[in-house]
A and B are shown apart, each in its own frame.
Chain A
Amino acid sequence: MNKVLTISNLEKSFHTRDGEIKALESVSFDVKEKEFISIVGPSGCGKSTILSILAGLEEKSNGEINFSKDYTIGYMLQNDSLFEWRTVLDNCLLGLEINKKLTKENKEYVIHLLKTYGLEDFMEEYPARLSGGMRQRVALIRTLATKPDILLLDEAMSALDYQSRLAISDDIFRIIKREGKTAIMVTHDIAEAISMSDRIVVLSKRPAIVKKIYDIKLSNKSTPIHNRKCKEFSEFYDAIWRDLDVHIQ
C-alpha cells in the first residue's frame, strides 16, 4: 500500500507566560492508504496536538510532515459542535459553504450520506432532537461532506456513554471503511483503539516520543464489536497497558 503521510521527528512546544512546555519531543510514524491508525498515550501527552498540527490548526515547532499528494483533511472533534440553530442537513453542509463548493451535486452527495446512514428522517430537524450517538454520526457526515482523503478523529466518541460508544464506533468504522478513507484516531481507550485500528502508535508521557507501534493482527478481523472477542485482543490490551505505564500520582 502507498504511504499517504510520513511524520518524522515532529516536535512541538507550547509557550505561556510561566514558561515553555514541550509537548512532543520527537514523534515519527507513517500512514498508509486506507489504513486506520490509532494514537494512544497517557493523558496530557500531546496526542491531540499531533492532529491539530496535521489539521493546520497549530504550527509545528520542528520536524517534517510530508503528504505524498495534496490531500484534503477532515477533522472530527471530541465535541460534536453541531450548530443548534441549523438543521441537521444545514450542519452537514457547513464545510461546503465555507469552501464555496455548495453545488447541487455536492448537496446531493450529503443527502445521500444522510440517507445511507439512517438520518433521512432527521434532515430537517434541529440537533437538539437527536441522541448523542446520532449527533456523532451527523458530525461524521459533516466531516465527510467535503470528501476528505484523510480523516482525523480526536476522541470522537469519548463524550458518549459506554453503550452508545460501542455502537457508534461500529457505525463510524463501517462508514469509514465503506467510503474508503484513511483515518487517524486519537483515543485514551485502549480497547477502542485495538478494536478499530490496523496499527496503534503508543506515545510516552510528555514530552512524547513514540514508544512502540503495534500491528494489530487479529484472527477473523471484522467489525469493532466482533474484534473485541478475538483471542489476541487481551494480549494486545495487556501489552499496551504495560507500555502506558499508568501510575496515579
Chain B
Amino acid sequence: MSTYSKEHIDYLKKQKKEKRIVFFFRLLIIVVFLIAWELLSRFELINTFLSSSPSEVIETTIQLLKDQTLFTHIGITLYEVIVSFLVATIIGFIVATILWSNKIIAKIIDPYITILNSLPKVALGPLIIIWVGASMNSIIFMALLISTFVTILTIYQGFARTNKSYITLLKSLGATKCQIFTKAVLPSNVPTLISALKINISMSLIGVIMGELLVSKSGLGYLIMYGSQVFNINLVITGVVILGIISYIMYIIIDSLENYIKKRRGSA
C-alpha cells in the first residue's frame, strides 16, 4: 500500500464523515416517523382504525407469516412482475432494433407508439378483463401494456441518438449495418439499456399492482384491495409497506448491476 499525504488522509476522513452523516439522518427520519406514528396512536391522538400503527403492522405481518399466506402473495406478485419485466424487455429491445434498422418503419409507427404510450392504460382495464379473462394473464397483460411501450421508446431513442461520428467512422472502415449495430450502437447504449431496465421494472410493478387491484385472487395488490373492502386498514398498510420494501430491493439489484457493468467497462 502506498502512503498518502496528510491532505489526502484528511480528504478521506471528510468523505467518511459525510457518508456517516447521510446514513445517520436517513435512519433518523424513518425512526422518528415510526416512533411518532406509534406514540400518536398509543395516546389515541389519531384513530388507529383509520391509520393503523407500526406495532399493528408488525402484528399483521406476523399473522400473515403464521398462516403462510404472505409469501404466497409476495411470490405471485413477484412472479407476475418478473414475467412482465422479461417479456417487455425482450419485446422492447427487438422492436427498438427494428425501428433503428429501418427508418421508414420507425416513421410509420411512431405516432401509434406515442399514443399507446401516453394512453392511461387503466382505462383499458375493463376491456382486458373481457378479452383476456379474469386471470393472472390479464394482470400480466396489463403490466405489459404499461411497461412495453415506454421500454421501446427509451431504447429506440438511445439507439437513434448514437454518436454520429461513431457511425461515420465505422462506415469509413467499411462496416455493414449489422456491424454498426454490434460495434457502436449497442455498446454505446449500455447506459440507456440500464435506464430502460430501471424504468421497465418499476412500470411492471405498477402494472401488476394495478392489474391485481382490478382482478385477482392473490398477490399484494389483492391483499390491499381485500383489506380495503373489509375495512382492515392494518392489512392495507402492511401490503403497502411490503410493496415499498420490494421495490427498494429491486432498485438495489438493478443499481448494483449498473455499478458492476460500469466497473467492468472501466468507466466508473
Contact = CB atoms under 8 A, between A and B. Distances in A.
B173 A128 contact: no
B267 A98 contact: no
Contact of B267 (A57, A84, A94, A95): A84
Given A55-B172, A99-B173, A81 B267 contact: no
Interface of A is mostly: loop
Contacts of B173: 75, 94-95, 98-99, 146
A77 interface: yes
A8 interface: no
Contacts of B172: 55-57, 75, 77
B171 A81 contact: no
B179 interface: yes
Nearest to B171: A57
Contacts, number: 51
B167 to A, nearest CB: 9
Sort chain B's interface into a size bin.
Answer: 20 to 34
A83 interface: yes
Contacts of A56: 172
Interface stretch (B35-43, B115-123, B182-190): B182-190
A62 to B, nearest CB: 22
Interface of B: 163, 165-166, 168-175, 179, 183-184, 187-188, 190, 265-267
Contacts of B183: 83, 94, 97-98
A81 B265 contact: no
A181 to B, nearest CB: 16
A83 B184 CA distance: 8
A85 interface: yes
Contacts of B187: 83, 85-86
A81 B174 contact: no
Nearest to B190: A85
Contacts of A97: 183
A77 B227 CA distance: 65
